[in-house]
Amino acid sequence: MHEIRALPDQPDALAPDGSRVRILPGLAAGSFAHFELPPGATSVAVRHTTVEEIWHFTGGRGRLWRRHEGLTQVHEVSAGTTITIPLGTEFQFRSTTDEPLTAVACTMPPWPGDGEAVRVDGPWPPTVEPGPGLAS
pLDDT at 126: 98
Average pLDDT value over all residues in the chain: 97
Q: Residue 91 — very low, low, confident or very high, per pLDDT cuts 50/70/90?
A: very high
Alpha carbon 128 to chain centroid distance? 13
- For 13-118, CATH number out of 3.30.2320.30, 2.60.120.10, 3.40.1010.10, 3.10.20.30 equals 2.60.120.10
In this predicted structure, the answer to whether residue 1 has a pLDDT above a threshold of 80 is no
The arithmetic mean of pLDDT across residues 54-70, rounded, is 97
pLDDT at 29: 96
User: Which tens digits make up the pLDDT trace of 24-54?
Assistant: 999 999 999 999 999 999 999 999 999 999 9
Q: Residue 136 — very low, low, confident or very high, per pLDDT cuts 50/70/90?
A: confident
